[in-house]
Amino acid sequence: MLKLFAITLFVAYGWASNVSEEAYVAAIIQDDDNRCAGAIVSDQWILTTGRCAKYLDLAVSTITVGTNDLSKLGQIFSSQEVKEHPNYVDIGSFNYDLALIKLNSTIKLGQDAKIIELTGEDIKDMENLAVAGWKRKRDPSPTTKLQLIDVIGVGDNSKCSKLEGQDAKNVFCLVGDKMSDEEKVASGGYQGGVIMGLNHTLKGIVSGFSRPDDPDSLGLAMRVFPFKKWIMDNIK
């Protein structure tokens, strides 16, 4: 059985990304901290997780795009409308853990802010992927710079012990190297992290994860391909 570890902890092995290449990521800020990430899927819509939309107070949150460093000024928006997936009920319904946030105005697209392409195919088993997002202030070695982390997507859920016997057709696991005990006890939030395939296509969104001090801890992600029609119908 594969050892699977929480994607939140992989950030320690990330590197600062080039905003001209990784300009597809939004940051949802609340209480002066990055609470969730999201993917820019149109000039006015952000794709993130259902739990981010449900459990954050978006009325007092801001959404930032167009920067690879949250200490520097980017384009800042508030939310105008939120559309959770209709089958997402609460934190336990991770099989539909997606939401769309409409911004109060349109993004000025360019080198620093780009619309990510929705992939035309599902992830492959053991596919090389990259995750883009930010650390939170409570994470190990916090930084305000956008991070890019190499991971492997496990398309075969039979290899993910904690998904066995569950209705998880829309979920896949993320694999990384085994952490030291010190690293495993660190906790962090990486909800909504943008999972990219080749040519910066959108493959998934980081969803839930188990306890980071669990030696069999795993990162979970939502597949985007099964929801392509739902996304396109709702951002028209």
pLDDT digits (tens, 9 = 90+) for 42-100: 999 999 999 888 888 888 899 999 998 888 889 999 999 999 999 988 776 678 999 99
Note the pLDDT tens digit of each residue in 70-80.
888 899 999 99
Judge whether 7-17+116-225 and 25-114+227-234 match in fold.
yes
What are the residue ranges spanned by the domains of the chain?
7-17+116-225, 25-114+227-234
Distance CA 98, CA 33 (A): 21
pLDDT at residue 15 tops 50: no
Distance CA 156, CA 73 (A): 41
156-160 contacts: CB < 8 A, separation 24 or more? 156/125, 159/1, 159/2, 159/125, 160/2, 160/4, 160/218
- The tokens 């929705």 sit on which residue? 118
Distance CA 7, CA 30 (A): 21
pLDDT at residue 219 tops 50: yes
Distance of CA 30 to the CA centre of its chain: 16
Mean pLDDT throughout 215-233? Answer: 83
Answer with the residue of higher pLDDT: 219 or 222: 222
Answer with the residue of higher pLDDT: 170 or 191: 170
Answer with the residue of higher pLDDT: 174 or 170: 170
- Domain 7-17+116-225: CATH superfamily is Trypsin-like serine proteases (2.40.10.10)
Answer with the residue of higher pLDDT: 183 or 147: 147
pLDDT at residue 4 tops 50: no
The predicted structure's pLDDT at residue 53: 87
- Quote the pTM value: 0.85
The H or E element that residue 16 is part of is strand 15-16
Domain covering 25-114+227-234 in this structure, CATH number: 2.40.10.10
- The tokens 């392409």 sit on which residue? 117
pLDDT at residue 14 tops 50: no
The predicted structure's pLDDT at residue 60: 83
Mean pLDDT is lowest, of 15-29, 100-114, 181-195, for 181-195
Distance CA 166, CA 210 (A): 15
pLDDT at residue 145 tops 90: no
Confidence of residue 157 (pLDDT cuts 50, 70, 90): confident
